[in-house]
Chain A
């Protein structure tokens, strides 16, 4: 595909065996990823997981240490950023401060010598409802407006692939919602392939049709948002995407459809089909909103796990729902989300409660819970750049 013409539609993105090392650390261990044309794909992960590096590799702003990048089936690994049919909405927006808004938007079109750049730029500005500010300078716009200009400046080029680097990070909650909706609408209207990088799980889940959770330079799990949420495969996914109550113990019994784990003296049953491992020490879990709180000991019911009695140690009321933290002897603390169907919290601090949930709602993980992995060293794009520079300085001055 020549960059002199518009992409007819979104293109597949294929990353094959990508590895990226910076002096001193490895940002991406080994990454294989295929993003089908026309999809809205989100790379979700904590800072330093390698998601921004992945984006920069696709944009051509970094070169992979190993591996190939294919866009629309064509190998672009050795091409430069300006030769790729890809556009980026930068985290800092990176609007050119010395140009008017309209010149910012028309920049890409003019570089590609596409005719009628001004008209097309005005159309793109109309799409983000900012055409009336076309003659202003970026500094005269609010953060939200700048963000929309950055978006217009990218989509006006009709790239086969649009890259979004935490574009909503700097916006307040209301603007974020508005922009999320706008992005989604634009994606449906123009039918491009979107690759969205974010650390905000809610943003990833509401906008993307496929989410890949990244951790420590590799993809932990990939799938539709509801699939990832309801059936996490690793402790990292279970805790990064929402909250989970996790229990670790030995498998003590297996039937055809379910297996039972002994966690601190409590028997917890999980559907076999929803578990990754079926023998030895396993970690199983359940989402807090799937758990029901009982003020009195309920009767044992088949296909339902029952824990208790436990003691409520914290109640936080959040309007639509209340979160209860319950200490259960043997398994530690558990979190329970309950919708406030009646007025106010149904249990108070210190009350004795029982917890139950459907066996079908539990899940079994392929690894053990590892709390230390939740907040690794801060390494967003900027600190990667800083680390990289410092590593180079030591390298150069050492020699």
Chain B
């Protein structure tokens, strides 16, 4: 899951890292001779980016391929696949995509709710075996997915639960909770307890204090955790494959169709997901910059 752990770090750091950039002052130009390092670094950066972006670019470009069955050779440009994305193989791509979205949303909501409650409990309250629980919560992150998936499948079999959407949602919720707890815990720990005390002092009942003070202040952490959960659930293949029975999710569909040539419609959906994610990041950046500008104007 190392790729996902990285994603966790990226999402968790999303809020702070950008602000640093704004504080960096303009750099003073310096005149000096052009040496080896001056061209080596840009070349290295360009190569690294090409390496990183080739698969994405390939996927995107081939979503416009006028392919027949397999989507390997370039046969000409067309918008057909984008316009008729659900018309191939009786809509199997879209059905798989829909399943993934439903599973992602449900397990994100459940895991984020439970994980947030666990995180608050772990930071704010003292109870028996608290540190043991903290440690155990890391286990699903550290355990290889194959082991988790196989273990869960065996349990479902033993209990006699038929494998369908529900078992997938249960499995996803289970491994997402750990990531939510880790993300939200950091946020709870940085919350000044005096703020909640002030809320109680100012006649707020426990419920009002939670919804008006604790929750809004935790929102950035909870949002990051939810995004992370959704991303983890949406692209999980290994655990899903063990526990899905006949239900097909988007990653599972791609895996199955890879053996006989992935249809261009899969590229369309993958590209669309990528574009949506990119749009979210851009919107977030633009609104952040606008907010910073407005704040600066107010201060001035």
Contacts and interface: CB of A to CB of B under 8 A. Distances in A.
Interface of A: 3, 59-61, 80-83, 86-88, 90-92, 94-98, 107-108, 111-112, 136, 140, 153, 157, 385, 389, 392-393, 396-397, 399
Contacts of A392: 126
Interface in B123-176: 126-131
A272 B216 CA distance: 64
A399 B209 CA distance: 33
Given A90-B194, A136-B298, A98 B203 contact: no
B197 A98 contact: no
A140 B298 contact: yes
Contacts of B127: 396
Interface of B: 126-131, 192-195, 197-205, 208-209, 212-213, 216-217, 295, 298-299
Question: DSSP class of B's interface residues: helix, strand, loop or mixed?
Answer: helix
B201 A82 contact: yes
A389 B130 CA distance: 13
A153 B202 contact: yes
A157 B202 contact: yes
20 contacts: A81-B201, A82-B200, A82-B202, A82-B205, A87-B202, A88-B198, A88-B201, A90-B197, A94-B194, A97-B217, A107-B212, A108-B202, A111-B205, A112-B203, A136-B298, A140-B299, A389-B126, A392-B126, A396-B130, A399-B128
B201 A59 contact: yes
B124 to A, nearest CB: 11
Contacts, number: 76
A351 to B, nearest CB: 53
Contact of A111 (B129, B192, B197, B202): B202
A196 to B, nearest CB: 16
Given A108-B203, A136-B298, A94 B198 contact: yes
Given A82-B203, A87-B202, A112-B203, A94 B195 contact: yes
A96 B201 CA distance: 13
A363 B228 CA distance: 71
Given A108-B202, A153-B202, A396-B127, A81 B192 contact: no
A3 B203 contact: yes
A396 B128 CA distance: 6
B197 A94 contact: yes
Given A61-B200, A153-B202, A98 B216 contact: yes
